[in-house]
A and B are shown apart, each in its own frame.
Chain A
Amino acid sequence: MNISPDGESHSTISKPKEDASQTTECSQPKTMCQKIWENHVVHAPEGEQTLLYIDLHLIHEVTSPQAFEGLRLAGRTVRRPDKTIATPDHNVPTTDRSLPIIDQIAKQQIETLRQNCKEFGVRIFDLDDIRQGIVHIIGPELGLTLPGMTIVCGDSHTATHGAFGSIAFGIGTSEVEHVLATQTLPQFYPKTFELGIEGELSPGVTAKDLVLYLIGQIGTAGGTGYIFEYTGSVIRSLSMEERMTVCNMSIEAGARAGLIAPDQVTYDYIRGREFAPENFDEAVAQWKKLPTDVGATYDRSEKFFAEDIAPQITWGTNPGQVVDVNAKIPSPGDYSDEVDQKSAAQSLEYMGLSAGSSWQEVEVDRVFIGSCTNARIEDLRAAAAVVKGYKISSNVQAMVVPGSGQVKKEAEEEGLDNIFQEAGLEWREPGCSMCLAMNPDKLEAGERCASTSNRNFEGRQGRGGRTHLVSPATAAAAAISGHFVDVREWNYK
């Protein structure tokens, strides 16, 4: 029996693992998760974790130095440098790249990554490479992320890659070291949770609103111990970039990974990308076998309806503290559970919000459009469409940070940089930037920010800073209006 972090015992979870150690000839219907899992079992000893093979390991400067140091101390090598890809993203300055990095410690970390890659023969997309960018944006963009894979990275938003139908999850530094040394990782078989979303999203309601809504419904720990699979007509109708936005935030509901079955949208996206398989049609034939079989069961299933979803804004200090743009800011008394009441009171105080006020009354100081959730080309197009022909509010400072060098180039080819700059938004170099504010892009204490990133934790964007998670369109509209508005009523010019 395994004890999962949620404290429940799940005598049933060891079952698929046992099945996995046998040959897979049984014709029982299977979930996609189960199929991918079984394809990666190296060793499945009874009662222990299964040793899973890892197809792609992405690394960055913040969670890898101690892992490489561990290898060095133990005299180990990187087993499969060809399955390992590095890029600096968390710490990098988003201003002029030709200038030296001022922050000496950040500089040391980036240089350490460079040296480690050189010493261990790992490929790196460095700051001078157009392929550099946020690790979860460049994987898909380069065609490295493929259906059916197991993908890990020392970063919790690795779930993004699940949009292609791969088991992708974030790991700690000890696990990074483990994967570097062995190309495998011991794991318990997860429980599966199907989130089916039916219907059609209304105009102005985006993938970001959808995922924020889902987190609000499930709660920040509702997915703990599960791998999500997003299904339903809404998911099928999303573009690849939108699917990535949804999967990206799976971790914010506690799930380590989120999957979406590959389909024609997926194949069309991958075809022609730099690292896409050469025998593409053969690969597609394999990928077509991945989706969950009819009749396969999940450990848990919930249905949601697109018609219920409006643009979302977080009011608190975790992504589950979220409401519709038309709802009032809640009060602690709205919650029945004592712990939730206390959390709500703490969050409202930190956020400087009064219960019962409307979003139109909440003024913003800063706007951040970026991060691995919302810094792909479609996100930038959506934000540019809103600001086009307007000027940002005089009280607001706003910046747009593309997710990668390629996104930046594409946006500039389309003239989006000009639209942003004419409206008064700053146009930056790619990186994580104010998503976690490790570089100089950060909020001052008390500043309120409409942000397209994924975490509104206390201090996440700067000590004392107040973060509201929203879609790119809602963030852009807040930049112009100086306060939150319902973007469904926006007057596009």
Chain B
Amino acid sequence: MIAAPGQTVALVVFGASALGFGVAVFRTKSMVRSALALLGSMSAVGGLFLALETEFLGVLQLMMMATEMTIMAIFMVMFMMDPGGLGQMDMTHQKRAAVTAGVVGGLIAVALSALPSWAAVVVAAPAPSVQLHDLGIELMSRSMLIFETAGLAILVAMIVATTIALAEKQP
């Protein structure tokens, strides 16, 4: 069975732009452009989620990634001596190993995607309002422990991050 052709087209468009922006992250010399290219990639992934009819996850991805990537941009500007990328300095190391690892890892992932014979592709997904309701019920009943653990992990991370980042008290 094949899904609606509009969905496949949207999938290809969003997927290609996610990959294109992902490549742009590491090709540009400007740090802020890297962070914003990553935002473009993650937004394309969010659009991909919307195309795959998981409306809640797509909207959540778009919302979270805007804030996260801009915070990455400000950290770049804080830490780097040349955030504009005008100095033409090469900020990479072990290039050959990295390219080999990336290509080999990518090829293994591609092989694992394309070679197995997946089950028949289901066509009907629930309506967005039904999905939202059922996801909420799932989170609150069966996956409650996971949900609470994630919430606790976020709280601990907030406390940890604030404590680490506080400047040491001057004597």
**A, B in one complex:** no
